[in-house]
């Protein structure tokens, strides 16, 4: 069975909401490839075509498909993130009430984020900083209140990274191998930022299902490699169980050399990578996720970990140029 067909068969039982009107572009970065002396391609998931775009829309396509299949009329999630903003748009499109719980005071929030939520009539619930469990407790109470009002509630992981959301990147892997087949190329490595784990879990599951030979390397942007790898393994295991297939734990690779001083703190290397991609290719990145992963790509090429003659795919997972950070 062709690898692409294996992925289609595995995903057939899971409904999609149709949020992605077209496949995200994949194209060669000609100027960067010339400068690095390697063949560098990019998957433009910043251009997924729904709301703010990014990797969260791929996850939402399956998450909303699942919510619609369960006749949900209300979505509940937490944190002011790229996921919750896109979820607000998706909920509005499908006529659902959307509630987002946010840690902290309203006055401390990014005005652009608040304006976006307002555009989609999102109901925001601010939870004062107390202890780490406060947000979870407040969400549990809100869900019980909504159910008591007769609502059919669907709770969404704050990053969309659960066994259903990860299916979005199983589908993305299908697009990747179909592109490689039609162009007659073979990717040796796939690089991307990894944080909430859904992107990496889906790609790894896609590789295990298809048998496509490639090194999938998540560039950690929030926690050290061993901790991130453990989190990814947990989600891949849950996704494999959902699909009814096995996976290879050795396929989970994480590089944490480019986190810098911490999550959401710009690094000099990430800032330089953002500027290089903008100047050479006209591609905007943020300094929290894609910029640090791009710094990793540049480093691996400069020190020979990506060798001359290799063909590499970089996944732009979104970020809106840092507008919401």
- pLDDT per position as a tens digit, 26-74: 999 999 999 999 999 999 999 999 999 999 999 999 999 999 999 999 9
State the average pLDDT over residues 4-28: 95
Cβ–Cβ under 8 Å, residues 230 and 21? no
For residue range 216-228, list pLDDT tens digits in order.
999 999 999 999 9
Rounded distance between C-alpha atoms, residue 168 and residue 244, angstroms:
17
| Spatial distance between the Cα atoms of 79 and 84, rounded to a whole number of angstroms | 7
Does 82 have pLDDT greater than 90?
yes
Q: Decide if 55 contacts 317 (C-beta within 8 A).
A: yes
Q: How many CA atoms lie within 13 A of 282 on its CB side?
A: 1
CA–CA dist 232, 238 (Å, integer):
10
pLDDT category of residue 4 using cuts at 50, 70 and 90: confident
Cα 293 to the center of its chain, rounded Å: 13
Q: How far apart are CA 29 and CA 13, in angstroms?
A: 36
Determine contact, residues 67/14, Cβ cutoff 8 Å: no
> In whole angstroms, how far apart are CA 181 and each of 1, 2, 186, 210, 212?
15, 11, 8, 13, 11
User: Which DSSP helix (H) or strand (E) runs through 193?
Assistant: strand 189-194
- Mean pLDDT to the nearest integer, 266-271: 97
Residues in the chain, total: 325
Looking at residue 12, its pLDDT comes to 97
Q: Is the pLDDT of residue 211 over 90?
A: yes
- What is the pLDDT at residue 23? 92
Q: Can 3-54+162-322 and 56-155 be said to share one CATH topology? A: yes
In the chain, what percentage of residues exceed pLDDT 90? 91
229 Rama sector, left if φ>0, alpha if ψ -120 to 50, beta otherwise = alpha
CATH of 56-155, one of 2.60.40.10, 1.10.3720.10, 3.40.50.11140, 3.40.50.1100: 3.40.50.1100
Phi, psi of 188 (to 5 degrees): -90, -30
SS3 129: coil
**Per-domain boundaries in the chain:** 3-54+162-322, 56-155
The H-assigned helical ranges of the chain are 3-11, 30-36, 55-69, 82-93, 111-119, 134-148, 167-183, 198-210, 225-243, 268-281, 290-302
**Contacts (Cβ under 8 Å, ≥6 apart) of 190:** 176, 203, 214, 215, 216, 217, 312, 313, 314, 315
pLDDT value of residue 1: 74
Pair of tokens at residue 167: 């299916």
The residues, any chain, with a CB within 8 Å of residue 269's CB and separated by 6 or more, are: 258, 260, 292, 295, 298, 299
Query: What is residue 325's predicted lDDT score, i.e. its pLDDT?
Result: 65
Q: Has domain 3-54+162-322 been given CATH number 3.30.70.250? A: no
Q: Please check the confidence at residue 322 and state whether its pLDDT lies above 80.
A: no
Looking up tokens 């990053």 gives 159
Question: What is the DSSP pairing of strand 74-78 with strand 97-103?
Answer: parallel
Q: Report strand pairing: 39-44 vs 26-28.
A: antiparallel
- Dist. CA 325–CA 317, nearest whole Å: 15
220 SS3 class = strand
Quick: pLDDT tens for 167-185: 999 999 999 999 999 999 9
What is the per-residue pLDDT for 226?
Answer: 98
The count of C-alpha atoms lying within 13 angstroms of the C-alpha of 281, restricted to the half-sphere facing its C-beta, is 22
Q: If you average pLDDT over every residue of the chain, what do you get?
A: 96
Whether 116 shows a pLDDT value over 90: the answer reads: yes
Q: 131 pLDDT band (50/70/90 cuts)? A: confident
pLDDT tens-place string over residues 135-169 = 999 999 999 999 999 999 999 999 999 999 999 99
Tell me the per-residue pLDDT of 277-301, one tens digit each, with 9 for 90 and over.
999 999 999 999 999 999 999 999 9
Q: What is the pLDDT of residue 178?
A: 97
Q: State residue 160's pLDDT score.
A: 95
């Amino acid at each position: 069975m062709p690898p692409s067909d294996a992925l289609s068969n595995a995903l057939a039982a899971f409904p999609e909401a149709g949020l992605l009107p077209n496949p995200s572009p994949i194209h060669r970065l000609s100027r960067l490839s010339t400068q690095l002396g390697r063949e560098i391609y990019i998957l433009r998931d910043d251009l997924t075509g729904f709301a703010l775009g990014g990797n969260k829309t791929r996850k939402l396509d399956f998450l909303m498909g699942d919510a619609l299949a369960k006749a949900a009329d209300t979505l509940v999630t937490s944190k002011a993130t790229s996921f919750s903003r896109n979820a607000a748009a998706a909920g509005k499109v499908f006529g659902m009430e959307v509630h987002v719980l946010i840690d902290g005071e309203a006055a401390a929030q990014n005005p652009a984020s608040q304006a976006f939520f307002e555009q989609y009539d999102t109901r925001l619930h601010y939870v004062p900083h107390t202890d780490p469990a406060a947000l979870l407790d407040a969400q549990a109470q809100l869900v019980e209140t909504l159910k008591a009002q007769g609502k059919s509630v669907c709770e969404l992981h704050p990053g969309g990274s659960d066994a259903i959301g990860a299916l979005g990147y199983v589908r993305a892997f299908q697009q990747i191998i179909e592109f490689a087949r039609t162009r007659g190329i073979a990717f040796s490595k796939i690089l991307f930022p990894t944080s909430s784990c859904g992107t990496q879990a889906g790609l790894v599951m896609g590789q295990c299902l298809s048998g496509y030979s490639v090194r999938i390397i998540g560039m950690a942007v929030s926690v050290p490699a061993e901790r991130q790898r453990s989190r990814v393994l947990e989600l891949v295991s849950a996704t494999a169980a959902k699909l009814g297939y096995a996976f290879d734990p050795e396929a989970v690779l994480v590089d944490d050399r480019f986190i810098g001083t911490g999550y959401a703190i710009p690094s000099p290397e990430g800032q330089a990578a953002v500027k290089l991609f903008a100047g050479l290719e006209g591609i905007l990145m943020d300094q929290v996720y894609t910029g640090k992963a791009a710094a990793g790509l540049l480093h691996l090429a400069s020190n020979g970990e990506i060798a001359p003659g290799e063909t590499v795919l970089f996944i732009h997972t979104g970020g809106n140029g840092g507008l919401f950070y």
